[in-house]
Amino acid sequence: MGFYEFSSFFVCVGERRMKAENNSSMLYVPEPRTFKGWRTNQINQINQTNIQLGSTQAPNLSPSNSVLESLSDSAIGYLKGPLSTQVIPIIYLMVVTVGIPANVAILCLLMTKVRKVSSAVLYSSLAVSDILLLLSLSFKAHYHFHGNHWVLGEAACRIVTACFYGNLYCSALTLACITVKRYMAVVHPFMYKSFPKMTYAAWITVAVWGVFGVAIVPQLLVQQSFWVRDLNRTTCHDVLPLGYDSHSFLLYYNLVLTVLCLLAPLVVTVVCFIQIIAELSRSHFDWTMYMKAVSLIFSIFMVCFLPCGVLHFLHYVLLSARGTENLYVYFNLAVCLCCLHACLDPFLFFIMSSSTSSRLYLIPFKGKSLSISV
């Protein structure tokens, strides 16, 4: 994004603020998080129309409720089309069906057969995060199967949205921490041997869940469900009026979270795995199986998180600079792909355990060997 886009963005922000100040009595036109919607106060007219049409889906709106209308054709096509009402929820249900039993099995295994406490803490944290993510997917699948119509209330919409995105960030950060731990064990074995690994693992877990707490607070504080007049249904998180003061901060807040909690772990994972493979290639032992397992973890991480992180970042940047909403459809598809990691993480844990027996033997210096657990 060049100088023209940045300058255009700040000019647009200035014009909107001047318009809001000079026309305080007029209705402000917002830019939602996903698709462009218009907020309306014509509650009585909408209620009367629903009564005349005999609508059973529409709620009895009061003047304090928010209604969005005038969505674009592409937005209406997506929210009513088979992609969001059939394909995406089917993928979610498949992931939930496989992921929840697998992650529960991992938790049971870690509690009964713990070889390395520091590793068990990190893998347990990852399994809990994956389970919470999968539970939120169950409610999102229900929402999509009902034609993107949310019937569980505003509080449930906030909780599901916060749990979904919070655990998405939490899983990415935990995987990055596990990657760093393996990097230290392989590339800097003597330094890793001297670390108080249990203490570090405990503090890392606390820090990751602290980020989770920070990430979900804004989602819990602002309204997430809106009645969309053009669709005759209530959406959950799919349309948010970011042009209003109550939601405007979410755009920049989520952009920062995307960079720190999705893109930064991606960079860390790439660097660490390149160093791990390079170090094992120079070893005198045959680490073919271990390298294959590491490469598989790296590939799954990149396939699941890379499209989601990049599209999430581009979506927020384009929405900020130009008000472009077209990437949101592709972002939702990338999120489906990203959620696959929640059912693949347990199997990757089994692969790593069986391929290395949780132990490495390195020869960093002549005549000296070092055995470390990873």
Write the pLDDT tens digit of every residue in 102-131: 999 988 888 877 667 777 888 899 999 999
Could you tell me if residue 4 is inside a domain? no
Residue 371 DSSP class:
E
Query: Whole-angstrom Cα distance, residue 174 to residue 261?
Result: 10
In a domain? residue 100: yes
Give domain status of residue 6, yes or no. Answer: no
The predicted model gives 42-70 an average pLDDT of 45
Whether pLDDT at 365 is above 50 = no
Q: Is residue 20 part of a domain?
A: no
| Assessment of whether the complete model's pTM goes beyond 0.85 | no
What is the per-residue pLDDT for 103? 94
Angle at 180 between CA 186 and CA 117, to 5 degrees: 85
At residue 69 the predicted structure's pLDDT band, cuts being 50, 70 and 90, is low
| Number of structural domains the chain divides into | 1
Element (H, E) at 354: helix 341-356
Evaluate if residue 196 carries a pLDDT over 90.
Answer: no
How many CB atoms are located within 10 Å of the residue 200 CB? 16
Residue 270 is assigned to a structural domain of this protein:
yes
Averaged over 222-234, what is the pLDDT?
A: 84
Distance CA 184, CA 95 (A): 32
The whole-number pLDDT of residue 129 equals: 94
What DSSP designation does 28 have?
P
Calculate mean pLDDT across residues 154-171.
93
Residue pair 349/123 in contact by the 8 Å Cβ criterion: yes
In terms of phi and psi (left: phi > 0; alpha: psi -120 to 50; beta: otherwise), the region of 125 is: alpha
Residue 143 is predicted with a pLDDT of 94
Among candidate residues 297, 258, 260, 259, the one with its CA nearest the CA of residue 277? 297
Residue with tokens 């009402």: 85
Q: Is the pLDDT of residue 57 over 50?
A: no
| Residues ≥6 apart with Cβ < 8 Å to 210 | none
Is residue 32 classed as helix, strand or coil in its secondary structure? strand
| Residue 325 φ/ψ, nearest 5 degrees | -115, 0
Mean pLDDT across the chain: 75
Amino acid symbol at 358: S
Which residue type is seen at 143?
Y
User: What's residue 317's pLDDT?
Assistant: 79
Q: Which pLDDT value is given to residue 314?
A: 85
- Strand 67-69 relative to strand 225-228: parallel, antiparallel, unpaired? parallel
Please report which helix (H) or strand (E) contains residue 338, including its range.
Answer: helix 327-339
Domain that includes residue 243, residue range: 31-373
For residue 180, give the nearest of 79, 77, 91, 301 by alpha carbon: 301
pLDDT at residue 352, as a whole number: 65
The pLDDT of residue 3: 42
Name the more confident of 362 and 78.
78
Do the domain assignments include residue 3? no
At residue 283, φ and ψ (nearest 5 deg) are -75, 155
In a domain, 336, yes or no: yes
* Tokens 């906030």 sit on residue: 158
Please check whether residue 333 lies inside any domain of the structure.
yes
CATH number at residue 198: 1.20.1070.10
